[in-house]
Structure 1
Amino acid sequence: MTTQRMIFSLIALAVSFGAHAADTLAVIDPKVPCEPPAYPRASLVNEEKGVVTLAMQVGPDGVVAESKVEKSSGFKNLDKAALKALSACKFKPGTKDGKAELSWTKVEYNWKLD
Structure 2
Amino acid sequence: MNKHLIGFIAATLLSGAAFAGETPAVFDAKNCKADYPKASLLNEEQGTVSMSFLVSASGEVLDSKVEKSSGFKNLDKAAIKAISACKFKPGTKDGAVAQTWTRVDYAWAL
> What is the TM-score of this pair, normalised by structure 1?
0.84
Once residues 28 and 78 of structure 2 are traced to their aligned partners in structure 1, the CA distance between those partners, rounded to angstroms, is: 20
Q: C-alpha displacement at 1:74, in angstroms?
A: 0.1
Unmatched segments (≥5 aa) in structure 1: none
Q: How many residues align?
A: 108
1:1-114 equivalences under 5 Å are 5-18=4-17, 21=19, 23-29=22-28, 33-34=31-32, 36-113=33-110
Q: Is the 8 A contact 2:75 2:108 kept in 1?
A: yes
1:70-99, Cα deviation, whole Å (9 max, x unpaired) = 100000000000000001111111111221
Which structure dedicates a bigger proportion of its chain to strand? 1
Once residues 105 and 53 of structure 1 are traced to their aligned partners in structure 2, the CA distance between those partners, rounded to angstroms, is: 11
Once residues 59 and 17 of structure 1 are traced to their aligned partners in structure 2, the CA distance between those partners, rounded to angstroms, is: 19
Unmatched segments (≥5 aa) in structure 2: none
SS at match of 2:80: helix
Letter in 2 for 1:50: G
Structure ID, larger Rg? 1
Once residues 47 and 4 of structure 1 are traced to their aligned partners in structure 2, the CA distance between those partners, rounded to angstroms, is: 14
Q: Which runs of 4+ in 1 moved over 3 A?
A: none
Letter in 1 for 2:105: E
Q: C-alpha displacement at 1:5, in angstroms?
A: 2.3
SS at match of 1:12: coil
> What is the TM-score of this pair, normalised by structure 2?
0.86
Identical-residue share of aligned pairs (%): 53
- Taking only aligned residues, the RMSD between alpha carbons, in angstroms, comes to 2.1
Q: Is the 8 A contact 1:50 1:73 kept in 2?
A: yes
SS at match of 1:54: strand
